[in-house]
Amino acid sequence: MSTSMLLRLDGDGPLHRQLYRALRETILGGTLRPGARLPSTRMIAAETRVSRITVVIAYDQLIAEGYAEPRRGSGTYVAASLTRDGAAHGRRPASTSAPARLSVYGRRIQVSTRGHAPSWTPRQPTFSYDFRYGRPAIGDFPHPLWRRLLARRARRASFRALDYGPPEGLPELRAALADYLRRSRAVACDENQIVVVSGSQQALDLVARVLVDAGDRVLLEEPHYAGARRVFDGIGARLRVLPVGREGLDVSRLSDHGKRFRAAYVTPSHQFPLGLVMSVSRRLALLDWAERIGAYVVEDDYDSEYRYVGRPIESLQGLDRTGRVLYVGTFSKVLFPALRPGYLVLPRPLVDAFRTAKALADTGCATLEQSALADFMREGHYERYLRRSRAHAGARRAALLEAVSTHLGDRVEVCGADAGLHVVLWLRGVRHDRLPSLVGRAAAAGVGVYPATPYYLHPPKRAGLLLGYASLSEAEIRRGIERLGQCLG
């Protein structure tokens, strides 16, 4: 005999789907046991005030998915097979379920990121003056032009263009990139050496998975980009950091241990986050070291477009004659973060392996954005925008340095102001253990500032702040630094 039951519809979507979900939950939750008879369709229709055909459709879905089974002349019953599968008899609440069973990789990345969310994670705008690094001047970007290029490509798209694209990226974008990199960064490459990736972070992930095994040694600058450290740490690499001097990384300090490294990750044109430039002599020494021991060098050229003092710095890759350098670039700091394409320039022997790894990772980046970006570059818009953006960034930099001089004076030392989109402020006479309270006072005043500590494997004793300025106006920069000065006392 059928019994009535209380069913709660969630109000999401068609009634037959709501009813199906409610009935399925009573089965999985154990209210209706395997072999129990479901109420008649007429009874359910009356109690839920829906049409009988709606109930029939919901029952048919339960039967099709194996939650219920019809018996001729008797009605519909909860499938007896659920007992054998252990899918009935009630499910434990999530709060009492067993802890997640992670792989070794999953456990590593959980430990390495505990307490420190990735710096690019979206956050609510809680500060009036947010000096968070990594946010470009999105308001400077020519949105109307970009929309026209996207719309033009969308209108012209053939059915073939809607299919999967090559995992290494569209040929027209790779050709435009090769042309630009040869001219602007002295990168020695052609389009066949380029793999388009979903930002520089995916490039680093591919490098780690293709080139590094658990237990391999990887050399990092100290300080360094924490996103790179976490990638190599997650793969199980043994990390070694080498403090950078005024001329950059000095591999001669490695002694005999330098013979056992698999890779080195460096930012030679604008050391992150200190802003130093690796000298030519140390670049050549690094390349010689890599060739001698059979290691690869990962050159992250994350914001070389922004340089305000002196001549542009040519890439380390352009000096490489033996195929040891992998060059990583991104559009996120120049254009806007939601435009995900970045790129890897690879030594020729590595191209096939990286193309395969990219195909396995995501089958390739979205092709419409790649096509529009290729047009943006080939038609000259990219370099025209770069010139304007560099001028705007230079004005913001000048406003920052002036405000720091006015409101902070000799209480701070500015580092890395000649290039890029951020500076490091070393606070004179402030111990590193006082940073949390200072950051808290600044936050209470509506100013977002960020410690330099997370960029070190072995944090320094002196207190440092990393301040990005690209996303703020000149007036906002001045007001924010004035409030920061008040917080310093």
Phi, psi of 150 (to 5 degrees): -65, -45
CB 478 within 8 A of CB 399: yes
Alpha helix ranges (H) inside 327-380 = 351-362, 367-378
Domain with CATH 3.90.1150.10 in the chain: 111-135+385-488
Tens of pLDDT, residue by residue over 207-228, are 999 999 999 999 999 999 999 9
Phi, psi of 373 (to 5 degrees): -65, -35
Phi, psi of 222 (to 5 degrees): -125, 110
Could you say which architecture CATH assigns to the domain 111-135+385-488? Answer: Alpha-Beta Complex (3.90)
Tens of pLDDT, residue by residue over 264-308, are 999 999 999 999 999 999 999 999 999 999 999 999 999 888 999
Fold of 157-381: Aspartate Aminotransferase; domain 2 (3.40.640)
Instruction: Considering only the C-alpha atoms of the chain, give the largest distance between any 2 of them, rounded to a whole number of Å.
Output: 91
CB 33 within 8 A of CB 89: yes
User: What are the C-alpha distances in Å from 181 to residues 154, 350, 354, 447?
Assistant: 27, 19, 20, 37
pLDDT in the model for residue 390: 92
H helix or E strand, kind and range, residue 42: helix 41-48
Count of CB atoms within 10 A of residue 437's CB? 10
pLDDT in the model for residue 1: 43
Domain 15-95 has CATH 1.10.10.10: yes
Whether 13 shows a pLDDT value over 70: the answer reads yes
Buried b (16+ CB within 10 A) or exposed e, 45-56: beebebeeebbe
Count of CB atoms within 10 A of residue 432's CB? 17
* pTM for the whole structure: 0.82
pLDDT in the model for residue 116: 59
Whether 96 shows a pLDDT value over 60: the answer reads no
Count of CB atoms within 10 A of residue 239's CB? 15
Q: What amino acid is encoded at 80 in this protein?
A: A
pLDDT class for 258, splitting at 50, 70, 90?
low
Higher pLDDT, 115 or 322: 322
Q: Using the Cα atoms of residue 438, residue 443, residue 446 and residue 448 in order, give the sign of their dihedral.
A: positive
Tens of pLDDT, residue by residue over 382-404, are 999 999 999 999 999 999 999 99
Alpha-carbon distance 67 to 315, whole Å? 62
State the average pLDDT over residues 157-182.
Answer: 91
Length of the chain: 489
Alpha-carbon distance 415 to 403, whole Å? 15
Whether 452 shows a pLDDT value over 90: the answer reads yes
Please give the structure tokens belonging to residue 371: 């096509």
Please give the structure tokens belonging to residue 442: 């600044």
State what percent of residues in the chain have pLDDT above 70: 92
pLDDT in the model for residue 95: 52
Domain with CATH 3.40.640.10 in the chain: 157-381
SS3 61: helix
Phi, psi of 327 (to 5 degrees): -100, 125
Alpha-carbon distance 265 to 232, whole Å? 10
Tens of pLDDT, residue by residue over 404-430, are 999 999 999 999 999 999 999 999 988
Across the chain, mean pLDDT equals 89
Whether 4 shows a pLDDT value over 60: the answer reads no
pLDDT class for 33, splitting at 50, 70, 90?
confident
Label the pairing between strands 68-71 and 75-78. antiparallel
Domain with CATH 1.10.10.10 in the chain: 15-95
Q: Between vectors from CA 444 to CA 442 and to CA 445, what angle results, nearest 5°?
A: 65
Whether 45 shows a pLDDT value over 80: the answer reads yes
Q: What amino acid is encoded at 154 in this protein?
A: A
Please give the structure tokens belonging to residue 242: 């080498």
pLDDT class for 90, splitting at 50, 70, 90?
very low
Whether 11 shows a pLDDT value over 90: the answer reads no
pLDDT in the model for residue 93: 47
CB 381 within 8 A of CB 142: yes
Please give the structure tokens belonging to residue 318: 């352009």
- Please provide the DSSP assignment of 209-260 as one string: HHH--TT-EEEEEES--HHHHHHHHHHT-EEEEEE-BTTB--GGGGGGGGGG
Please give the structure tokens belonging to residue 356: 């395969």
Count of CB atoms within 10 A of residue 70's CB? 13
Please give the structure tokens belonging to residue 275: 């802003």
pLDDT class for 83, splitting at 50, 70, 90?
low
**What residues pair up with 266 in beta bridges, in sequence order?**
299
Alpha-carbon distance 358 to 177, whole Å? 18
Lookup result for tokens 């490489």: 320
